[in-house]
Amino acid sequence: MARVLAVANQKGGVAKTTTVHALGVALSELGERVLLVDLDPQACLTFSVGLDPDALPRSVHDVFVRRVPMKEVLQSVEGLDVVPATIDLAGSEVLLLTRTGREHALARALEPLRASYDTVLVDCPPSLGVLTINGLTVADEVLVPLQCEALSHRGVTQLLETIEDVRAFANSDLAVRGIIATMLDPRTRHSREILGDVRDRYALPVLDPPVGKSIRFAEAPARGRSILRHAPSSPGAEAYRALAKTLHADVEGQNGREPVKS
């Protein structure tokens, strides 16, 4: 049964989509069967993997609104399976608000597929609305990408409060796996201070290594490729490979096997 990781932060521009895509490819390189789910109406993940959101016949919107089985909307890209999004997903959010058990819509749709994968990564939108609640409700753990600047981590408290609410009414086993520091500039004292403050303030694990700033991250989506394919030897690609090994070791440990060696 796949473990589900929701990647969430209500602040935009903190590399959620980059993190989902890069970790998905890196986990696939480690031999995992990976499914990516795009829950953002902006469809950035869908675009980043090389799909055209405007040309797709079906998307996760059809799963929510028309009850189309999720397996019928899957797309295969870069050795991954992807549940794509389109702008229609914004309408799905409005419809879900009228439904009983709305926070479990994604969990119900995903259930028939979970045995086919090792890891499911859910790219949550930059908000704390019903789509993000769906991502948190189906998840086993949450990964929080956090840009190392003052304004970025102000919203973490609100996200943690939402996670507590989800634990209370929908998913009591939900855990925060950790924070992933993104767009770090190690040359500046400010970035280092923010990273240290996050460790102290929230008492959450900060997964190593942090991911540094790089123009390679901006180039990759335009080519429909992850950073691991676009610039495989770059520091950013290596950082996500190291993070993926940490997450892969979690699965190996749960299965009673020795973790993959670095």
List per-residue pLDDT tens for the chain, 262 residues long.
899 999 999 888 889 999 999 999 999 999 999 999 999 999 999 999 999 999 999 999 999 999 999 999 999 998 899 999 999 999 998 889 888 889 999 999 999 999 999 999 999 999 999 999 999 999 999 999 998 776 666 778 889 999 999 999 999 999 999 999 998 877 777 777 877 787 788 888 899 999 988 888 888 888 888 999 998 999 999 999 999 999 999 877 666 544 333 3
Give the start-to-end residue ranges of the domains of the chain.
3-254
DSSP label at residue 66:
S
DSSP state of 260: P
Element holding 177 (H helix, E strand): strand 175-182
218, with CB counted inside 10 A (0-12, 13-18, 19+), is exposed
What is d(CA 198, CA 203) in angstroms, rounded to the nearest whole number? 8
Q: Which residues contact 164 (CB under 8 A, 6 or more apart)?
A: none
Distance CA 136, CA 4 (A): 9
Sign of CA dihedral 126, 130, 134, 137: positive
The rounded Cα 13 to chain-centroid distance in angstroms is 13
Is 3-254 CATH 3.40.50.300? yes
**Partners of residue 176 on adjacent β-strands:** 142
Residues 6+ apart with CB under 8 A from 114: 1, 2, 4, 120
Angle subtended by helix axes 89-96 and 130-138, to nearest 10? 80
* Cα distance between residue 85 and residue 34, in whole Å: 17
Cα 141–Cα 143–Cα 229 angle in degrees, nearest 5: 120
pLDDT at 93: 85
Are the C-beta atoms of residues 37 and 60 closer than 8 Å to each other? yes
Distance CA 226, CA 147 (A): 19
Q: Cis omega (within 30 of 0) on the bond before 232?
A: no
The Cα 217–Cα 98 span in angstroms is 38
Helix, strand, coil % over all residues of the chain, rounded to 5 = 50, 15, 35
**CA-CA distance, 257 to 139, in Å (whole number)?**
23
Residue type at 260 in one-letter notation: V
The pLDDT value recorded for residue 150 is: 66
